[in-house]
Structure 1
C-alpha cells in the first residue's frame, strides 16, 4: 500500500478552479519529483496534501487514512512535514527556538539537525531574522525535520540561493534519502540535481497530471513539452 495517494483531485480558490485531475502515489522511502511550469498546480497540490487547502473532488489518503476532513495541524501530526516556499521562519525567535517550536518526539532532535546543518548549531542563539537566506532555508528544513515526519515536502528549497549554498542543500537532501527511511516530495527547477535523488516524477500541466513514471524515463521531448520555457 502506498504511503500517500491522490486520486482525481480537484481544488478551487473561491470560484477559480486550480486543480482539475491530479493523481499521485508515493511509497515509503521514495523520492518523488513534482514537476511543471510555474502556475501549473504544484504548490496547490502541496497545499492539498498538507490540508492547507481542501480538495473538492477526489480522495487524499495518507498511510491508509482519508485526509478529507483533517485540519492542517492533524496532517502534521499524522507525519507530513512541509518546507514551504519562501522559508517563513519566525524571524524574532532564535534558531533554537524555531527548531523546538513544533518539535515532536522521535529520532530528529537538536543534535541530529546540527549534524545535518552544523551552521545552525553555530548560530543557535541568533535570531532567525539575522541569518542569510541559505541559513534560513537550512533552518526551515531543520524545523520540519524536528516534527519527525514520515513524509517531507520541499517546495522550491533551493530557489534564489547562491550556487554554493544550493549544493549544501542538495547534499543534505541526498543524505535524507540515503540515511533515513523518509519519503520525500521535491519541487525544484534543477532537473539535473533532481535526477540524482528522485526515483519517480509526476508532471502537472494546467492542474492535471499529464505524465507519471520513473525519473530516468523523462525524455528531452517530455521536458521540452511540459517544462521548457
Structure 2
C-alpha cells in the first residue's frame, strides 16, 4: 500500500469544476513532482489532499486511512506537512514563535531546524515580516518540518526568489531527500531542478492526470506537449 493514494478525485470551487479525475501515489521516502502548466490543477490537488477543499468523487488515503471526511487540522496531525504557495508566515511573530506554533513531538525541533537552516537560529528573535523572501521560505519549510510529517508538500517553494536563493532552497530539498527519509510532493516550474531530485512525475492537464512515470522517462516530446508555453 502506498503512503498516499489519490484515486479519480474530482473537486469544485462552488459551481465550477476544477479537478476532473486526478490519480497519484507516493511511496514512503519517495519524491514525486506534480507538474503541469499554470492553471491545470496542481495547487487545487494539494488543497484536496490537505482537505482545504473537499472532493466530490474519488478517494484519498494516507498511511491506509481515508482522508475523505477529515478536517484539515486532523490531516496535518496524521503526518502531512504543507509549505504553501506564498509562504504565509505570521509576519508579526518572531521566527521562533512561527516555528513552535504548530510543533509536534519528533526529530524536528527548534534546535534541529536551526541546524538545518542556521539563519533561522541566528534570527530567532526577529519578526518574520522583516526577513528576506528566501529566509521566509526557509521559515515556511522549517515550520512544516516541526509538525514532524512523513509527507512534506512543497507548493512553488522557489517562486519569486532570486536565482542564488532558489539554489539554496533546492539544495535544502535535496538534503531532506538524502538525510530525512521523508516522502516529498513538490510543485515547481524548474524541470532541471525537479529532474535532479524527483523519482517520479505526475503531469496534470485541465484538472486530470495525463501522464505518470519515472523522471527518466519524461521525454522532450512529453514536456513540449504538456509543459511547454
Shorter-chain TM range is over 0.9
Question: Counterpart in 2 of 1:185?
Answer: 185
Question: Counterpart in 1 of 2:71?
Answer: 71
Q: 2:212 and 2:157 mapped to 1: Cα distance?
A: 22
Question: Counterpart in 2 of 1:146?
Answer: 146
SS in 1 for 2:29: coil
Question: Counterpart in 2 of 1:167?
Answer: 167
Question: Counterpart in 2 of 1:9?
Answer: 9
Question: Counterpart in 1 of 2:56?
Answer: 56
Q: 1:216 and 1:97 mapped to 2: Cα distance?
A: 41
RMSD: 0.4
Q: What are the within-5 Å matches in structure 2 for residues 60-139 of structure 1? A: 60-139=60-139
Q: 1:83 and 1:141 mapped to 2: Cα distance?
A: 6
Q: 1:129 and 1:177 mapped to 2: Cα distance?
A: 29
Q: 2:172 and 2:111 mapped to 1: Cα distance?
A: 15
Q: 2:64 and 2:198 mapped to 1: Cα distance?
A: 24
CA deviations over 1:174-196 (Å, ceiling 9, x no partner)? 01000011100000001101111
1:218 shift after superposition: 0.4
Structure 1 position 158 matched with structure 2 position 165 = no
Q: 2:40 and 2:133 mapped to 1: Cα distance?
A: 26
Structure 1 position 200 matched with structure 2 position 200 = yes
Question: Counterpart in 2 of 1:24?
Answer: 24
Q: 2:123 and 2:67 mapped to 1: Cα distance?
A: 37
Q: 1:114 and 1:67 mapped to 2: Cα distance?
A: 32
CA deviations over 1:10-65 (Å, ceiling 9, x no partner)? 00000000000100010000000000000000000000000100110000010000
Q: 1:146 and 1:188 mapped to 2: Cα distance?
A: 22
> How many residues are matched?
229
For structure 1, the 5+ residue unaligned runs are none
After TM superposition, which residue ranges in structure 1, 4 or more long, deviate above 3 angstroms? none
Q: TM-score, normalised by structure 1?
A: 0.99
SS in 2 for 1:177: helix
For structure 2, the 5+ residue unaligned runs are none
Q: 2:69 and 2:181 mapped to 1: Cα distance?
A: 27
Q: 2:116 and 2:90 mapped to 1: Cα distance?
A: 20
